[in-house]
Amino acid sequence: LKAGCNLKKGQPASIDRESAMVVWLDHHKEPLVYEEIKQKAEDSPSPAFKEVKDQMGILNAAVVLPSFLEDKLSNFLILGDKLSGKIYTSEDLNVFSILATETAIAIENALLYGNIEEQVRERTRELIEVQKQLIQAEKLATMGTLAGGVAHEINNPLAAILTNVQMLLATCDPQDPNIDRESLELIEEATKRCRTIVQKLMTYAKKPLESGKISEVNLLDVIKNAISFLSYQLKQDDIKIITEAKEGDYLVIGNPNELEQMVTNIILNARDAIRLIKKSGEIHIRLLKTSEWLKIEIEDEGPGIRKDIASKIFDPFFTTKDVGKGLGLGLSICQSIIEKHNGRISFKSDLDKGSTFTIQLPRVKVAGAIKKENPYGQENFID
């Protein structure tokens, strides 16, 4: 066995491609006969014959029959001396050759089957993982719907509180010492705040299909809405958002809810990135126009995106975040939303400075727009 095979416990035996005998078989592609090799080893000064002869000697091999699959040595059959002491005839060798080839095919099939089994196992593991994450995503979606429902339920009682408190404020005698006006005003303020939150929640939770009417959307409003929805969370995380955009029309055709969701996802990624390396930071959002496109740039001060994962970040379920923190769906959802809007998303990243995600959406042109000098190369910027 030393002469030609690698044997390791628990692993399939494999041919030792370095062994002299294997090299010879691979090269000559014909049976090795011990007596012939012995003769050659005596006649020739080349050490190769002797090595092959010695290996055959260790194996007690009278003949070694190779078989080939796709021109590559796939296995070999070792025949010892015949019990009768006679030599092997060419008919004998023929029969054994056929046997060796059959064995090669059988071994190949077994290996292939083994591989397929391993692949099936691997795939099943992946599927189970994906299924788990889908269930989680589904749960999140359900939570969104539930939150929308709850918000809707709360909206009516809130309206009742607000109307009543406002009525009280309007009708009560300001001089009456028994009435605590300040408290009433506090109630009014607090109720208004609740109403705003509830309304935002309702807008956010609305499924794209329900509110899926495509309309003209101002991207500046989209960004403002996303920021205002996140404002509490971002304040908690000590993250400041700086928006740079001239007031004006940034019109695209699309679904405002989906576009808000997209911007929200990218802002949250920026927040996560910053929080990885520091306690507070800034996110810069810029809105730009070219003659054909609107561009949103979202820049963070995070650690940047390593080259080895850059090609994967848009893959569904790709995440570098801890379990429960990231599903890895954000960017893939963003990408599908942007593609639906005939746009593009790209990013630039610098490991020392952070990352900038750029979203480009085809713009709806406003009649009478004036072409201006173009700071961005080929495209014309319009104010």
Query: Which residues make up the interface to Mg ion (CB under 5 A)?
Result: 269, 330
Cβ contact 227:235 at 8 Å:
no
The two structure tokens encoding residue 116: 């397929």
State the Cα–Cα distance between residues 315 and 333, nearest whole angstrom.
Answer: 10
Which residues are registered as beta bridge partners of 252?
217
Instruction: Give which of Mg ion, ligand ADP, none residue 255 binds (C-beta under 5 to 8 Å, depending on kind).
Output: none
368 CB contacts (<8 Å, ≥6 apart)? none
For ligand ADP, the closer CB: 67 or 319? 319
Instruction: Give which of ligand ADP, Mg ion, none residue 328 binds (C-beta under 5 to 8 Å, depending on kind).
Output: ligand ADP
Cβ of residue 300: shortest distance to ligand ADP, in angstroms?
Answer: 5
Cβ of residue 325: shortest distance to ligand ADP, in angstroms?
Answer: 7
State the Cα–Cα distance between residues 210 and 85, nearest whole angstrom.
Answer: 90
Instruction: Give which of ligand ADP, Mg ion, none residue 73 binds (C-beta under 5 to 8 Å, depending on kind).
Output: none
Helix, strand or coil, per DSSP, at residue 44: coil
Cβ of residue 196: shortest distance to ligand ADP, in angstroms?
Answer: 27
Cβ of residue 325: shortest distance to Mg ion, in angstroms?
Answer: 9
For Mg ion, the closer CB: 330 or 354? 330
State the Cα–Cα distance between residues 231 and 370, nearest whole angstrom.
Answer: 35
For ligand ADP, the closer CB: 265 or 360? 265
For ligand ADP, the closer CB: 324 or 368? 324
Instruction: Give which of ligand ADP, Mg ion, none residue 321 binds (C-beta under 5 to 8 Å, depending on kind).
Output: ligand ADP
Instruction: Give which of ligand ADP, Mg ion, none residue 258 binds (C-beta under 5 to 8 Å, depending on kind).
Output: none
For ligand ADP, the closer CB: 233 or 374? 233
- How crowded is residue 78: how many other Cβ atoms within 10 Å of its Cβ? 17
How far apart, in Å, are the Cα atoms of 284 and each of 83, 241, 244, 272, 297?
Answer: 88, 6, 7, 14, 8
Instruction: Give which of Mg ion, ligand ADP, none residue 302 binds (C-beta under 5 to 8 Å, depending on kind).
Output: ligand ADP
Report the amino acid identity of residue 364. V
Helix axes 47-58, 20-28, angle to 10 degrees: 110
Helix axes 256-277, 330-340, angle to 10 degrees: 150
Helix axes 181-205, 90-171, angle to 10 degrees: 150
Burial of 72 (0-12, 13-18, 19+ CB in 10 A): exposed
For Mg ion, the closer CB: 82 or 132? 132
Instruction: Give which of ligand ADP, Mg ion, none residue 355 binds (C-beta under 5 to 8 Å, depending on kind).
Output: ligand ADP
For ligand ADP, the closer CB: 165 or 331? 331
Cβ of residue 136: shortest distance to ligand ADP, in angstroms?
Answer: 11
Question: What residue ranges bind ligand ADP (CB under 6 A)?
Answer: 265, 269-270, 273, 300, 302, 305, 313, 318-321, 326-332, 355
